[in-house]
C-alpha cells in the first residue's frame, strides 16, 4: 500500500510572480530546471501521477490579489490534474485550498 505524500504550498508571503513559481517548485519538489510557468507546472505535476498525493494550498488569496487571474489558472490546472486520464487517479489525488478565514475548498 502506497503511503500518501503530503505537500503544502504556502503563498502567504509571496511578493512577486517568479517567487510564486519558486514556491510551487520548492513545495512540490519539482526539479531545479522547472520552467516557472503554467506549462512547466502541468508537465511536472503530471509526472507525480501514480502516487497517492495530498496537496494543501495556503494563501491563494495573495495570488488573486497580486496577480489577478493566476489563482484561477492554478485552480483550473489542479482540477484538470485531479481528473487526469479520465479520472483514473481520482482516488489517489487530494487537493485542498485553505483560506484565511478557515474555510476550505476541496478540488
pTM score, whole prediction = 0.92
Q: Quick one: pLDDT at residue 1?
A: 58
Q: Quick one: pLDDT at residue 29?
A: 97
pLDDT (tens digit per residue) in 65-104: 999 899 999 999 999 999 999 999 999 999 999 998 888 9
* Domains along the sequence of the chain with CATH: 5-106 (3.30.370.10)
* Dist CA 37 CA 76 (whole Å): 14
Q: What is the mean pLDDT of the chain?
A: 94
* Dist CA 92 CA 52 (whole Å): 4
* Dist CA 33 CA 95 (whole Å): 24
Amino acid at each position: 500500500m502506497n503511503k500518501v505524500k503530503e505537500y503544502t504550498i504556502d503563498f502567504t508571503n509571496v511578493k512577486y510572480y517568479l517567487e510564486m513559481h519558486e514556491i510551487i517548485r520548492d513545495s512540490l519538489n519539482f526539479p531545479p530546471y522547472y520552467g516557472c510557468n503554467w506549462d512547466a507546472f502541468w508537465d511536472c505535476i503530471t509526472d507525480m501521477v501514480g502516487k497517492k498525493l495530498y496537496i494543501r494550498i495556503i494563501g491563494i488569496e495573495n495570488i488573486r490579489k497580486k496577480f489577478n487571474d493566476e489563482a484561477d489558472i492554478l485552480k483550473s490546472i489542479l482540477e484538470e490534474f485531479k481528473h487526469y486520464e479520465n479520472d483514473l487517479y481520482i482516488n489517489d489525488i487530494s487537493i485542498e485550498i485553505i483560506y484565511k478565514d478557515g474555510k476550505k475548498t476541496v478540488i
